[in-house]
A and B are shown apart, each in its own frame.
Chain A
Amino acid sequence: MTLSTKSFEIFCGTGGVGKTTLATARALNLSQNGKRVLLITIDPARRLKDLLGLQGDAVGEVTEVELLGSKLHALLMSPEKTIQRMAKKYNTPDLANNRIVQILSKPYGGMNEILSMVEVQMQFDSGSYDVVVLDTPPGAHFLDFLESLGKIRSFFDQNFIEIFSYLGQKTAKAGKKVFGMGIINRFISTGVRKLLGYLQNVTGAEFIDDFIQAIQIIYQSRDAFLKGLSLQDRLKSRSECNWFLVTSVEQGKAQEAVELRSHASHFIHEDHYLVLNKCLEQELKSWNPDESHLIQVKASLEGKEQLLKKKLNEVFPVVLEFPEVISLSPTDHIQHLTERWKSYAPQG
């Protein structure tokens, strides 16, 4: 089994399985093969953050990292920084200054997934990288990440344009600055007007004004958001993207991995791999306890792992196994896992 290299590699899976460490090891493996690699990560554990040098000023900025003698680039997502880059690139400075946009783009404001899509697109467009390795947010929220593409579309949906025209008129009356909404002013639906009336009943008037402004500003930057959409086709394409679904023996949850895949079925093509981390099989093989309680422990550990592998092999075309690295040093982990990736990847 060898893995071919694509422009995008997506790591997803339930958290706490060593997903970020595996993704980092993969990025390092690609870089050792001479690729220009950018690793984008969302929420790494602190030790890994330290190892990658992604603290302080480096948060949200592409940083060159030297790991085990190889260089790669890494970026720790900061929604705020992404918004600033968008504002600069698309010349929409208001985007970075709007109060509501600022609150929502706080680190846990909830815009991480959607902005990570925009970030991947902007970074790849820069032409500086052969491969972008993306470590997605953990758990079922990987699904949010996938859906974010659809959300961008629905946010800028044609139906939705109606609201801008209505809002444009309203702010004009209120004597506020009006953005270029003229061409769509004809399509005012009474539905939108009614909805805003109700909204105002519960939210108060100040919110409506701020909100209108936020929506208009986001709308001005729609090109940046919509560009994220073109990524959708590339991630779907077998020639451009490898998908890695990560789980671990410790978790013992085949079901979650299967569910992840079925939720993501419109995205995932044949080139997807189940990565099973922290396997104890080799370790347990050499153990022959003779006391009954230890036999029970061995059977429990071995039985759970075998059952998991059996279930996974039934549903995934390829299962890549990685042994549990028993070491306290994250560098050791990355080194062992990079070696393991080497055995799966073509040498260059």
Chain B
Amino acid sequence: MTALKEELKRQIIEVLHLEDITPADIQDEEALFGEGLGLDSIDALELIVLMDKTYGIKLADPKKGRDIFQSIDTMVAYISEHRTK
């Protein structure tokens, strides 16, 4: 689980071009949107692509994304349960 968290943080930083941020700067339970990392709606779409491309998870319902993308913890929990890659 810890390895997956680290891997996911690195992918998010790379895909979302989060300059000057390291995996250590992202807390597992920290909000990814809003006050946390301050991600926006385009970032949310990028995360959907990341989930599909890297873990084989297709999110057809954007409302689900709101819960899944709350934090690294929630993303990792969903990925662990639903990944096909």
Bound pair (A, B) = no
B→A interface (CB under 8 Å): none
A→B interface (CB under 8 Å): none
